[in-house]
A and B are shown apart, each in its own frame.
Chain A
């Protein structure tokens, strides 16, 4: 991939985004005592991890990765997580929603979905591991509330985001100072769009879980989304199961992440499909974000990513 445009010194927008993200990741390692990176095996966290490996080459990624495990994983994503951990020699920590359900600290929701249940295990995972900075793969183009998020997002002892009290972020000078008990969420992919992520995966030939590419799967339609038949998502009597060629645009809790009908079975085809898509990835595939206009804002205020 060429890094030049009309002038020799002008970076392409993708290379500029890469350079910015590497700069952010290195700043955090330079200034914080105990960073950690949220790693789910989803495409954004995979790209973030790839950038971290580039930032510290030829050394290893110098911080642990934390998986907040909903227990509703796609098996191929869990396999991918473990394979990445082994290949890169990562230190994996897991905060499992199942543990909280088992001892009653959390209760299963009536609709059976678990995205909302992740916040407590996430905050405990941060506290238990004494992380003072936590990398997240959030992007500002994902959601209205995220559009207002800083690259360095200061969180109080409860992990809460206070949109009215954010630090101004000037030039590329990041202020990571925080008081004991507070921590900072860091979003190196803030300025990336979904299409940038896919183009970068293509340009860098990054391995991602197979379910991002078109494959045959048994699905049924629910709330206008194609939901996979699986241990956590069974059709009701009125929902008919059919086999369709689908792929996933986002990967989350299996019970509330929808697939999209697609023939895109290579990265080139996925990039082409995303480029002409007229619907956002969350609108297409996340039941939890369609409940209200402020679903993401409310979750963030409670300590979500």
Chain B
């Protein structure tokens, strides 16, 4: 069986992202004959000389009509070594919103840069989003090298520029690759046109990237989704069955482990871990299981079962980074819903602390956040939440801000352990 890698792609307008994604899918034989026929047909209809691989990723009628991409699209491809889920984040409209969405689940963000333009405002922003969302790895593909005759010096200049920006953003793992998406250089196969580049192709990098998920080594964090208590609807031997269903968001669970239930603080011991009739002795991060405890305690949806040694504290207020995703602006005093794990609570935005200038990385004073802004706020919760610092746990430091009346998703939130000031 192969492992899974999730990646997101982001690029500025016209830097060839659709072509790169099309190339990755085509060269890894993930575009099937009938899909390719359709792309060839449309290319011909448009009077193009060669088949435009970018057309593979255009999904909607309005996108094809306008020649732009308006929303995150998900693509799937697999090699012998790995299976990939690709979130293709368009660079035209709402690019911050799209990049934040794609980055939230990504192991790798692939950013495109046109070698002729070098770092653009959007490139800086994409890298800033990768840093804020804590995407573990960033690959920057320096594209269109064929247009500068595969010039090593030009590539080195751009690569240097990228690493300089990455350093200021605190991005630790940034890799640059010279590619031509159009011609396929260094996308799937290493190119003979770049003898000065001895690194792997983009696909090789994706296939061999170690999946070291730091959260798997944290103490157990298990948000309870449901209580499974079938009573008379199950076979007689299960009439007294009671288990807590959820998906492990950090660490591991083992039979015999001591645990604490939050927010009640009750302690107990794991006596069983069930995966639909299969009894497990241990379960790990990302697994959906049902956990049985030694003691009959009051637990319901929204509670969290954590390892007894966990230092997790309940917090009735927090400062957090918000990526504002809604058309309506945020102002101090707004009443919202916070969804964290399996719990939703009322909250008040007690202060808008500042707004991030994505070009300089500085936090500047602001009293509102508008669409595509990223800023810092202070929140007070109606009920305490077991929020972790987002930098140590993506799953348990992340939350949504929701409009309680309209139901819309307002912002992506990332909690801080230590308050932030301007």
Contacts and interface: CB of A to CB of B under 8 A. Distances in A.
Nearest to B36: A278
B132 interface: no
Contacts of B398: 170-171, 173
Contacts of B400: 170, 173, 175
A16 B4 contact: yes
A2 interface: yes
Contacts of A11: 3-4, 284, 286-287
B339 A175 contact: yes
A278 B225 contact: no
B412 interface: yes
A56 interface: yes
Contacts of B402: 175, 177
A12 B274 contact: no
Interface string A114-145: 00000000000000000000000000110011
Given A23-B247, A59-B234, A163-B60, A9 B252 contact: yes
Contacts of A297: 59-61
A262 interface: no
Interface in B233-249: 233-235, 238, 241, 245-247
B104 interface: yes
A94 interface: no
B324 to A, nearest CB: 11
B241 A58 contact: yes
Interface string B57-88: 01111101000001111111010001101000
B10 interface: no
A30 B301 contact: yes
Given A5-B1, A173-B398, A190 B74 contact: yes
B97 interface: yes
A3 to B, nearest CB: 8
Contact of A170 (B101, B213, B406): B101
Interface residues of B, number: 79
A258 B3 CA distance: 34
A55 B342 CA distance: 16
A272 B290 CA distance: 34
Contacts of B70: 163-164
Contacts of A279: 32-34
Contacts of B284: 8-9, 11
A14 B288 CA distance: 13
Contacts of B1: 1-2, 5, 12-15
A57 B3 contact: no
B3 A171 contact: no
Nearest to A151: B74
Q: Across chains A and B, which 4 residue pairs bring their CB atoms closest together, nearest first?
A: A59-B230, A177-B407, A283-B34, A12-B1
22 contacts: A12-B1, A12-B4, A13-B2, A17-B4, A19-B286, A30-B301, A55-B276, A58-B230, A58-B238, A144-B59, A147-B75, A148-B60, A148-B73, A167-B408, A169-B101, A170-B105, A171-B104, A175-B407, A177-B407, A191-B74, A278-B33, A298-B61
